[in-house]
Chains A and B, each alone.
Chain A
């Protein structure tokens, strides 16, 4: 083995580790507001608003100019490139508004998917070219963390070993480059919920994927204490006929994580995938009440699950500002409580009722 060449100095490690911990401290989570132009188009079309730069700016302004107390629930916000350089109606940069609230600013770094020839429509992710220079510039412009989404799917012959290996490797390269530039990499290996597979199968696949991701991060000398993980929760496929409780989802999820994610990783911020706002909150709450050992923070990095009500309340109209902001704050607070296992779903009989629904982990 070659004599080791430290990838990071002590000071660099300290900075990265502190940023990561700040983002997930005390039940805080992440607002994923990094929808690309195309994805925002989908969102805006549903509320019949035209997909213009100004409309995108207006909606993000509503989210970012909420009351400062949002910083009790939101530790970080992921932005899309365009949004990083946008300003509010008074001409103040969004990123400064967020920083003044004590919220850490992040940036989506990947550049979309590319097909893997010879597979059943599987993909890898592009964006490594010139990534170091881009990261250096973003860091100068006030960004402290990055996000890169790799996608795997469950289907016939999928995910293949190639897809797992290739996506794990790309994630590790991205993570290594981020850290060289003082950015905490959020590592996102999403296993899509599309399909009719059951909970057990999703767990099996998630475990294989995460084991490969952490082996790749180790191979690439990534400093785990200065990273965050953004995985899918372990759920059945959307078309699976069997229904599972939040406690079953929680047990399968935490079991998979505790078999693969080293304790050095400070936080795990789940993606919401296709879940409704309430389901995303209920599942996160059950995860935090799961009786298995949980040495990392278990929090959220939600896009749709934090913004759906707000978007609907807005409808593109300035006079709906108050309703929009209230809808967003409500979800932020609910998820912060869920990240501490303290969320009380109105209508349920509270914590005691759900506790007994956990099935012992050795069956998973």
Chain B
């Protein structure tokens, strides 16, 4: 083994670690507002709004004009490149508005998925070219963290060993490059919920994927205390006939994480995938009430699960902006409670649910 060449100085490590801890401070999570132009097209078409740059700006303005109530439940906002350089109606850059609330600014840096030849429709993610320079510029322009999404799927023959190893490697390269520029990398190895597999299968696959991710991060000398993980919760496939309670999802999720995510990682910020707003909050709450010891913060990095109601209330009308912003603030506060295991949901108390946790040796 070659003699070690430290990737980061003590000061660099301290900065990264402080940023990560601030994002996942108790009761706080992330607003994922980084939908690409293509993704925004889908969202806006659902409410009959044209996908123009101005409409995208107006919509993000609805979210970012939330009042100080969000300070206690939002630790970071992830931006898409276009939005990162946009301003509100008064000419104030969105990045500044967010920073002024004491919330950290993040940026999506991947450039989408590309196919892996010879596989059953599997992909890797591109975006490494010139990433060092891009990160350096984003850092100067106010970003303190970044996000990169890899995608894996469950079927008879997937995820293949190649897909797992290739995506883990690309995540580790991205993470290493971010840290060189004082940017905390959020590592997102999403396993899609598409399919009819059961909870156990998803757990098994999640454990294999996460083990590969953390081995790759170790191989690439990534400083774990200065990273965050954005995984899927462990859930059955959308088409699975068996229904599971939030407690079962929580136990499977926390078990998988305990077996693969080193305690040095300060926080796990779940993606919401296809979950409804309420499901995403209930599941996050159950995760935080799970009786297994959990050495990392367990919180949210939600897109749709924070914005669905707001989008619906807005429908492209300026007059609806205030009401839409309220919807967002409400969801943010609920998830802030869920991140502490204090969300009461639609009336069902915590005590009743507690007994639904099945001992983890069954997982």
Contacts and interface: CB of A to CB of B under 8 A. Distances in A.
Do A and B truly interact? yes
A1 B159 contact: yes
Given A215-B215, A263-B293, A293-B295, A158 B1 contact: yes
Interface string B180-220: 00000000000000000000110011011001101100110
Contact of A262 (B159, B164, B262): B262
A1 B161 contact: yes
Contacts of A264: 255, 258-259
Contact of B259 (A159, A258, A262, A294): A262
Nearest to A158: B1
B259 A1 contact: no
B361 interface: yes
Contacts of A164: 1
B332 to A, nearest CB: 27
20 contacts: A1-B205, A3-B156, A3-B201, A14-B359, A14-B361, A158-B1, A208-B1, A211-B218, A215-B214, A218-B211, A218-B259, A218-B260, A224-B259, A225-B360, A259-B262, A260-B218, A262-B258, A262-B262, A293-B295, A360-B14
Given A225-B360, A362-B225, A159 B214 contact: no
Contact of A261 (B159, B164, B211, B262): B262
Nearest to B2: A157
A1 B1 contact: no
Given A10-B361, A262-B258, A262-B261, A1 B215 contact: no
Interface string A143-159: 00000000000000111
Contacts of B261: 262-263
B158 interface: yes
B291 to A, nearest CB: 13
Given A1-B159, A157-B1, A362-B14, A225 B295 contact: no
A355 interface: no
A204 B160 contact: no
Contacts of A205: 1
Contact of A295 (B161, B204, B293): B293
A226 to B, nearest CB: 9
Interface string B317-342: 00000000000000000000000000
Interface of B: 1, 3-4, 10, 13-14, 17, 156-161, 164, 200-201, 204-205, 207-208, 211-212, 214-215, 218-219, 224-225, 255, 258-264, 293-295, 359-362
B16 to A, nearest CB: 8
A1 B361 contact: no
A4 interface: yes
Nearest to A159: B1
Contacts of A180: none
B11 to A, nearest CB: 9
Interface string A258-278: 111111100000000000000
A98 B207 CA distance: 38
A214 interface: yes
A207 interface: yes
A258 B208 contact: no
A241 interface: no
Given A14-B361, A259-B218, 7 more contacts: A207-B218, A214-B215, A225-B259, A263-B258, A263-B295, A264-B255, A295-B293
A43 interface: no
B1 A161 contact: yes
Contacts of B260: 218, 262
A1 B263 contact: no
A212 B1 CA distance: 14
Interface residues of A, number: 42
Contact of B264 (A3, A214, A259): A259
Which of the listed residues B161, B204, B259, B294 has the most CB atoms from chain A within 10 Å of its own CB? B259
Contacts of A258: 262-264, 295
B208 A218 contact: yes
Interface string A200-213: 11001101100110
Contacts of B263: 258, 261-263, 293-295
A13 interface: yes
Pick the 5 closest A-B CB pairs, nearest first. Answer: A211-B218, A218-B211, A13-B361, A215-B215, A264-B258
A160 interface: yes
A295 B295 contact: yes
Nearest to B266: A293
A361 interface: yes
A47 B83 CA distance: 77
Contacts of B225: 259, 361-362
Contacts of B215: 211-212, 214-215
A72 B234 CA distance: 39
A232 interface: no
A258 B4 CA distance: 19
A1 B293 contact: no
A286 B96 CA distance: 45
A164 B219 CA distance: 13
Which of the listed residues A4, A160, A263, A360 has the most CB atoms from chain B within 10 Å of its own CB? A263
Given A295-B293, A362-B14, A1 B208 contact: yes
A3 B156 CA distance: 7
A90 interface: no
Nearest to A14: B361
Which of the listed residues B13, B14, B294, B295 has the most CB atoms from chain A within 10 Å of its own CB? B295
B293 to A, nearest CB: 5
Contacts of A200: 4
A262 B214 CA distance: 10
Interface in A41-82: none
Contacts of B17: 362
Contacts of A348: none
B64 to A, nearest CB: 32
A363 interface: yes
A260 B262 contact: yes
